[in-house]
Amino acid sequence: EAAVTQSPRNKVAVTGGKVTLSCNQTNNHNNMYWYRQDTGHGLRLIHYSYGAGSTEKGDIPDGYKASRPSQENFSLILELATPSQTSVYFCASGGRGREDTQYFGPGTRLLVL
Amino acid sequence: GEKVEQHESTLSVREGDSAVINCTYTDTASSYFPWYKQEAGKSLHFVIDIRSNVDRKQSQRLIVLLDKKAKRFSLHITATQPEDSAIYFCAATNSAGNKLTFGIGTRVLVRP
């Protein structure tokens, strides 16, 4: 199974601070995704990428930026963190095709005070 | 955009019985429907999927049914065991096939 790792696993940030969440995958997948999970909403897509240098907006991109500097790494950046961004964030990677399975990382629990 | 509704928020079944989770979607062009399992405090783990060219798929004790006319798909967990207790998420691709939309999850509890 695909190996997707995330760091940090837990993060406490202050309102207005900058937060960077990192994701690494070692299976040479082209596609990578960032989701947030909140009770009552399931998983919602924030940003995704088709490969190094590409980022695309998902369904809830406001307040977030993404960076894909290499095939293996995909970062999610909160330039000015707000309490509403307190959530659990999951990174996932998938293959080249439309219907390739997505494999999820362990998640990052973010608390913005 | 695509909307996926997961109809059961919680499901309690006796060990050995079947559990059925139903989902509906809105985008007629959706063609890929995966299911994920999330155990308490853990990440999502892929369990089974179905593509629009078939209407039934089975993997061990898991069966997925797809009714394209009704835009409905379901997960059947047969002969349930305590380790099946988890939250299950259904999902569907959008018409472009580049994004998954998830349901809000169904918490399944298997009682001894």
Q: Are B90 and B62 in contact (CB under 8 A)?
A: no
Q: Are A98 and B31 an interchain contact pair (Cβ–Cβ within 8 Å)?
A: yes
Tell me the average pLDDT across A19-24: 98
Q: How far is CA A18 from the centre of its chain?
A: 15
Interface test with B, best of A5, A25, A30, A43 (most B CBs within 10 A): A43
pLDDT tier, A99 (very low <50, low <70, confident <90, very high otherwise): low
Phi, psi of A24 (to 5 degrees): -135, 135
Distance between CA A34 and CA B104 in Å, rounded? 17
Would you state the pLDDT for residue B110? 97
Rg (CA), chain A: 13
Distance between CA B83 and CA B102 in Å, rounded? 23
Distance between CA A49 and CA A36 in Å, rounded? 16
Rg (CA), chain B: 13
Tell me the average pLDDT across A48-73: 96
Q: Are B47 and B58 in contact (CB under 8 A)?
A: no
Q: Are A1 and A90 in contact (CB under 8 A)?
A: no
Tell me the average pLDDT across A15-25: 98
Q: Could you tell me which residues come within 8 angstroms of residue B14 by beta carbon, excluding any fewer than 6 positions away?
A: B80, B110, B111, B112
The answer, yes or no, to whether residue A28 has pLDDT greater than 90, is no
Q: Could you tell me which residues come within 8 angstroms of residue A91 by beta carbon, excluding any fewer than 6 positions away?
A: A4, A6, A21, A23, A25, A32, A33, A34, A35, A74, A76, A104, A105
Question: How far off is chain A from B83, nearest CA to CA, in Å?
Answer: 19
Residue A47: closest CA among chain B residues belongs to which residue? B99
Kindly state whether B97 is in contact with chain A, defined as any CB-CB distance less than 8 angstroms: yes
- DSSP 3-state of A84: helix
Ranges of residues in chain B with a pLDDT under 70 are none
The answer, yes or no, to whether residue A10 has pLDDT greater than 60, is yes
> What's the token pair of residue B70?
């009704």
Tell me which chain A residues have a C-beta less than 8 angstroms from the C-beta of B32: 98-99
pLDDT tier, A98 (very low <50, low <70, confident <90, very high otherwise): low
Distance between CA B82 and CA B36 in Å, rounded? 17
- DSSP 3-state of B15: coil
